[in-house]
Structure 1
C-alpha cells in the first residue's frame, strides 16, 4: 500500500472536507436510507470508517454487515438491499442470473491479498492431491482454486473441495478440518501467523479479482438513492485520503474492525491497490481497463463453467456517480 508523507496543506483540506460533508448530507436525506451490504474485507472498511466518523450521514446510508460475499449476493438476489460490495466475478455471476446491476465504484484491485494458503505439511500444489481444500461457494473462490490447480496441471476433481463461507475459514483451519483454504485478508494474515504457506495468490490472476460497489438498476433510477450513493462514494474517498495522509491515525481507527492493533490493520492492506477518484475515473471510463477486465473475466467464467450463459455487459459499468474531475485553475 502506498504511503504519502504527511502534508499540512493536504491535511487541512481533508479536515475541512470532513467537516463539511455531514452538513451537506443533512440537507436532503432520502425518505428511506440507501442499504449497502458488505462482509469484512480491507477494501470495504473505508466505508465503515467514514460512517463511524460521521463523514456519511447515517440517515442517508445504512451499511449492513454480512458474514460473507455469499450472504451479500443472496440479499441482492432477494432485493432486500440496494447495493453490495462484491468482487467483479461475483457481480458477473448475479448478472448472468438476471439480476440487473451497475458497477459504480472500484474499491480495490487484488494483487496478492487473495491466496491459497496451506498447512506446513503441504509443501506444494501437487501435495494437495487427495487433500481437503476449504473454499467459499462463490465465483472468486472457484476461480482462485481453478487457477491454482491449473498451474500444477490439476483440476478440482484432484482435491476434496470443502465448501466454507469466509467466517468459517479460521475455525476449520484450527480444528483440522482442512489442509488448505482459499482465503483473503484479514484471515490470510492470521493463517500465515499460524505457519501457513502461500501456494498461490492473486498475482497469478492480474486485473481479475477486483472489488466493486454493485448497485441494483432500480436503485440507480431513484433520484434520492443516487444522491445517497454519491455521499457514500465521497465518504469512501475521504477515508482513503485520510489513510494516505495520516496512516497512523487511520490504522488506529480501522483496527476497530480489522485487527487488534494499528500495525495489524495496516498489514491487511498489503497486496491491495486502492484506486482514488482519478484512478476510478480512468478505470470506469468507456475505454478504461475495467471494461476489458469484465469481458475477459466473463469469457473465462463461461469457459470454466462458472456461469451458464454470457451476460449483457454493455450497461454494467456506470461512472456517473464519481466525483467530477477538478478543473485546473488558470
Structure 2
C-alpha cells in the first residue's frame, strides 16, 4: 500500500513520539484527566497545531482551534477551556478579568512577526495622523498600537483606532473601513501581496513579545502529566522541523487556515525566536527578569499589582517542561 505524505509523516511521528514519551518518563498506564486547550493561528503555535493535526496529541487532550486571541479569552471566561496559547500580556489581561493563569512554556519571542502594514506611499510614521488603524482589541493589539503611536509622536486623538480581528482585516480594508493594519502571518500575506509595506514591527518592542502556553492556575495539579504531554509534543515537533524542514513546511502551509506559499511561512518564521528547552528552563526560572518583563507590560494590560500573585511561582513555572529534549530551531 502506498502511503500519502501525511500518512507517512503521521505514522513516522507515531513511532518516534511513543518512544519519546518513554524517554521523558511518561506513560499511558493511568487514566489521565481531560485537557481542554484552545489555540489560534500564529507561527509560534504552529508546531503544537501540527502535532494535533497529525494525531500526535493523546486522546484525552481536546484541541480547539479558534480564530483569534479574543475568542480564546472569551472561551476562558466561559470555562470552556483550561489551557490556552496566548501572548504574555494577554495572560495578564486574563488575570485582570479574574482568570488566574500560570505560564508553563514559552513558544516564541516575536522579533518582527507582529507588524504594522501601510500602503506603499506611506513614507513616515507621522503620516499616520488622521488614518484609520485596524487592530485587534486585545492586550497585545493595544500594546503594539500604543507603541506605534509613541514612535510616531501621535496620540489616540490623532488617529481612528478601529477594532477588527486579524482574520477580518483584509476584508475591512477592501471595504474601505481601515487604512492601516496591525497584523501577523498568515493574515498579513494578502496585504503584502497588494503592495503594502511594513512600517513598524515587534523588533521595536524588546522584551515585550512573549507567546506562551498558559493554564488556569487551579488546574495545574490535576492536569500535571497531561501538561507535560503538551510541552513535549511542541519540542518533538520542533525537532522534527529542524531535522526535516521541507516536509514540515509542506504540512504547515497546507492546512485550512494557512494556505499560502512556503516562502511566506519561511519569512514569517524568521520574525520569531523559538527558545530551546534549555532556554525555556532558564527564562522561567529567572525571577528578576520575569518581574521586569511583567512590570513593563502592566501599563498596557490594565492589570494592577494587587491582581498579580505575590509569589511569581503562581504566574510562571518550568515544572511541566520535559527534562530532556532536542534544541529548538531558529534560536
Give the TM-score taking structure 2 as reference length.
0.86
Check whether the contact 2:14–2:56 (CA below 8 A) recurs between aligned residues.
no
Q: Count matched residues.
A: 305
CA 1:72–1:167: 2 relative to 1, 3 Å: same
Within the candidate set 291, 302, 310, 1:307 is matched to 302
Within the candidate set 228, 231, 238, 1:230 is matched to 228
Q: 1:317 corresponds to which residue?
A: 316
Check whether the contact 2:105–2:280 (CA below 8 A) recurs between aligned residues.
yes
Q: 2:202 corresponds to which residue?
A: 202
1:27 Cα deviation (Å)? 3.5
1:29 Cα deviation (Å)? 4.2
Unpaired segments ≥5 residues, structure 2: 1-11, 326-331
What pairs up with 1:276-295 in 2 under 5 angstroms? 276-287=276-287, 289-295=289-295
Check whether the contact 2:37–2:82 (CA below 8 A) recurs between aligned residues.
yes
What pairs up with 1:28-47 in 2 under 5 angstroms? 28-31=30-33, 33-47=34-48
CA distance, structure 2, for counterparts of residue 100 and residue 269 of structure 1: 30
**CA deviation profile, 1:228-266 (whole Å, cap 9, x unmatched):** 111111001001111112111110111123234433333
What pairs up with 1:231-310 in 2 under 5 angstroms? 231-257=229-255, 258-287=258-287, 289-298=289-298, 300-301=299-300, 306-307=301-302, 309-310=304-305
1:288 Cα deviation (Å)? 6.6
Q: Does 1:109 align with 2:104?
A: no
Check whether the contact 1:255–1:264 (CA below 8 A) recurs between aligned residues.
no
What pairs up with 1:118-267 in 2 under 5 angstroms? 118-222=118-222, 225-257=223-255, 258-267=258-267
Check whether the contact 2:93–2:303 (CA below 8 A) recurs between aligned residues.
no
Q: 1:27 corresponds to which residue?
A: 29
Check whether the contact 1:111–1:202 (CA below 8 A) recurs between aligned residues.
yes
1:317 Cα deviation (Å)? 0.3
Check whether the contact 1:107–1:213 (CA below 8 A) recurs between aligned residues.
yes
Kindly report the root-mean-square deviation, in angstroms, between the aligned alpha carbons of the 2 structures: 2.2
Q: Which runs of 4+ in 1 moved over 4 A?
A: 13-16, 21-26
CA 1:266–1:90: 2 relative to 1, 3 Å: same
1:118 Cα deviation (Å)? 0.9
Give the TM-score taking structure 1 as reference length.
0.86
**CA deviation profile, 1:188-211 (whole Å, cap 9, x unmatched):** 233222111211100110110110
Q: 1:8 corresponds to which residue?
A: none
Q: Which sits farther off after the overlay, 168-177 or 20-29?
A: 20-29
Q: 1:64 corresponds to which residue?
A: 64
CA 1:85–1:265: 2 relative to 1, 3 Å: same
CA 1:226–1:67: 2 relative to 1, 3 Å: same
Q: 2:9 corresponds to which residue?
A: none
Q: Which sits farther off after the overlay, 13-22 or 196-205?
A: 13-22
